[in-house]
Amino acid sequence: MKLKFLADVNIEKEITKTIGQMGYEISPIADIDIYMKDRDVLELANKTNAILLTNDKDFGELVFRQKLVSTGIILFRIKGEETNLKALLIRKLLMGYQEKVAKHFTVITRKKFRFIPL
């Protein structure tokens, strides 16, 4: 199955461009509704069977504390505006661990990827 992605409003255009160039379908929330609430973003990702990309830790709260269902979330935990590094890391993640992204809460840091089953 080919992965699909939904990019939260805080995801840089360079990231969505990189994912698109890799042949994946990606829909930016900014093109849908920039004021969409996190809960609705998560619901849309589930409805469209898309992996949510975000810089927002609040989604961890929604899936782990509030037990909301998710098809998968990728959270960038990289301080600053290092868009080039983020683009490089998402490329590395999808080239090496594509099969682990669905149904996982994936955390991307400078040094490693963490996969937490959902």
- Considering the segment(s) 4-117 as one domain, its CATH architecture is 3-Layer(aba) Sandwich (3.40)
Flag whether pLDDT at 44 surpasses 70: yes
Per residue in 86-107, pLDDT (tens digit) is 999 999 999 999 999 999 999 9
The residue ranges of every structural domain in the chain are 4-117
Three-state SS for the chain is CCCEEEECCCCCHHHHHHHHHCCCEEEEHHHCCCCCCHHHHHHHHHHCCCEEEECCCHHHHHHHHCCCCCCCEEEECCCCCCHHHHHHHHHHHHHHHHHHHCCEEEEECCCCEEEEEC
Tell me the whole-structure pTM to 2 decimals: 0.94
Flag whether pLDDT at 20 surpasses 90: yes
